[in-house]
Amino acid sequence: MAPLLTMTGIKKHFGGVPALRDASLEIEPGEVHALIGQNGAGKSTLIKILTGLYRRDEGEVEFAGAPSHLSSPRGAQSAGIATIYQELNLVPLRSVSENVVMGQEPKSFGFMINWPEAHRRTREILSRFGIEIDVTAPLGSYSTAIQQLVAIARAVSMDAKLVIMDEPTSSLDSSEVEILFGVVRELKSSGVSVLYVSHFLDELFQICDRVTIMRDGKTVGCREIADTTKLDLIAAMLGRNADEIEAEGLTELAGGSAAFDEVVLDVDHVATGPRLSEFSMSLHRGEIVGLGGLLGSGRTEAARSIFGLDPLTSGTLRLNGREFKPAEPSEAIRARIAFLTEDRKAEGIVPDMSVRENLTLALLPSLRRNGQIDREREKELVSEFIRKLGIKTSHMDQPIRELSGGNQQKVLLARWLATKPDILILDEPTRGVDVGAKREIQAIIRTFVDEGHAVILISSEFEELVEGANRIVVMHEGKSVSELTNPGITENALVRALAHHEDATP
């Protein structure tokens, strides 16, 4: 049987920077095919080329037996490709039926929408998946799981040959995931192919037939799920040798750290929702604790729970021996906790503001005198941190958008260091910066710890965790599942702990 989709030799550049170097993908009719890879591997770019959002620079695409040159998402829908994004593109205030038939409403007399027929058609599609709800009710009145299923129903109503699911279970609980899996199996049995994009590797072994692995803009492998293991997939994503990791053996896992005495933060079985369900760790003064895990493991959610961004649903935090439950970030800041977020552009810098304004953003309340900002004190602080952190800027009032990525990151780091925190949470602090800036940022972090403070370090670069952390708490699907301690911290030990978390000591 001929493949439904074949993509070969796909290349794509943005401003001279390659996003895809040599990507390929093949999907059979009626197949559930997984697409995996770390951040920046090229998964999203490949899908956007497939669905007409981007045009490829080189390569060939064939869909349903014919060359494909899709130039828009509408064209992809017409061809039989439906995409269900992680952020659902539905209209919550409209009814379930309106969302399902939108753009293809049944008509009476050639121009009037036949709502009874629309409701009947919607109920019929949903019943295929065992879903019986009031289709006239607003979509927003239902759970995320139901909204996800409605998005799938919309795809089915368009007679899709291929349904692309982007992180479909990221906001679902375990019972809702099972419902979704039932829908995927129903699609497969009816001959519809599914491209399943997920960071949750356990799901792949439950629902997928084959898996394509991407790394650094290239397709590095395609395997039958039945013939692979979780360790094989992780090793392929990271460019490691699975046999060498297996041969090294699992490093002894232990809790605590004999080298550090004073506990400044104790996290005990904390949960905030399905993406953080059971997280525990301790942090000592003068210590760097790394959070290791693949994308989607709950590392960022763990940081958000400590900083008061996500409310706790269970578990306890203790700060310097006292119970601590921040309702919002301002409480964490007052408790001398700082959080450098992962997304510098979206959650860090304010691009149209100056270096000075960005650096002092978290300090404004303490810089006020008689209701006004003490500008002289502000300038003294900014000058001090520009000098201490080696921030390269023409002057403190230069717009931060004009600085390099490394210097922008130093400004954000200075913002939080200026608050004089005891605990600094760093989420991907060196992502997107050059090697020189990376080393400078790592030196700043080390100086901070040497002064008697503590750091929680999140990084997708295993080398950075192994080199920088005194301990590594390994996370998997919202849980802390094991802990690596020196001198047994190696990259291979970390990869193996991720792949064999069920053998680890929680």
d(CA 350, CA 403) in angstroms, rounded, equals 12
d(CA 439, CA 430) in angstroms, rounded, equals 9
**Domain-by-domain residue ranges, the chain?**
5-228, 250-336+422-506, 352-420
More confident residue, 257 or 152: 152
- pLDDT for res 251: 38
Q: Longest Cα pair distance anywhere in the chain, in angstroms? A: 80
pLDDT in tens, 139-151: 988 877 788 788 8
- Give a three-class secondary structure readout of 447-498: HHHHCCCEEEEECCCHHHHHHHCCEEEEEECCEEEEEEECCCCCHHHHHHHH
User: pLDDT tier at 505 (50, 70, 90 boundaries)?
Assistant: very low
d(CA 434, CA 436) in angstroms, rounded, equals 6
Does residue 283 contact residue 262 with C-beta atoms inside 8 Å? no
pLDDT in tens, 61-96: 999 999 998 888 888 988 999 888 766 678 889 999
Mean pLDDT of 132-137: 92
3-state secondary structure of 132: coil
Give the whole-number percent of the chain exceeding pLDDT 90: 46
Give the number of other Cβ atoms within 10 Å of residue 416's Cβ. 21
- pLDDT for res 257: 45
Residue 381 has pLDDT above 70, yes or no: yes
Residue 248 has pLDDT above 80, yes or no: no
pLDDT in tens, 143-184: 777 887 888 888 777 788 999 998 887 767 677 788 888 889
Residue 454 has pLDDT above 60, yes or no: yes
Mean pLDDT of 443-467: 90
More confident residue, 394 or 34: 34
The residue length of the chain stands at 506
- pLDDT for res 287: 94
pTM here is 0.67
- pLDDT for res 253: 34
Residue 389 has pLDDT above 70, yes or no: yes
- pLDDT for res 196: 95
Q: Which of 81, 285, 41, 305 is nearest to 194 (CA)?
A: 81
- pLDDT for res 256: 39
* DSSP line for 282-344: EEETT-EEEEE--TTSSHHHHHHHHHTSS--SEEEEEETTEE---SSHHHHHHTTEEEE-S-I
Does residue 84 contact residue 152 with C-beta atoms inside 8 Å? yes
Q: Which CATH superfamily is domain 250-336+422-506 in?
A: P-loop containing nucleotide triphosphate hydrolases (3.40.50.300)
User: pLDDT tier at 503 (50, 70, 90 boundaries)?
Assistant: very low
- pLDDT for res 500: 66
Say which residues have a Cβ less than 8 Å from residue 352's Cβ, sequence separation at least 6. 399, 401
Q: Do 5-228 and 250-336+422-506 share a fold?
A: yes
d(CA 164, CA 44) in angstroms, rounded, equals 11
Mean pLDDT of 97-114: 84
Fold of 5-228: Rossmann fold (3.40.50)
More confident residue, 493 or 46: 46
Does residue 367 contact residue 378 with C-beta atoms inside 8 Å? yes
Mean pLDDT of 334-363: 88
Residue 12 has pLDDT above 50, yes or no: yes
- Give a three-class secondary structure readout of 59-96: EEEEECCEECCCCCHHHHHHHCEEEECCCCCCCCCCEH
Place of tokens 């991907």: 428
Which of 143-147, 374-378, 484-488 shows the highest mean pLDDT? 374-378
Q: Mean pLDDT of all residues in the chain?
A: 86
Reading the block at residue 416, the tokens are 């939080």
Mean pLDDT of 256-272: 81
Say which residues have a Cβ less than 8 Å from residue 39's Cβ, sequence separation at least 6. 295, 460
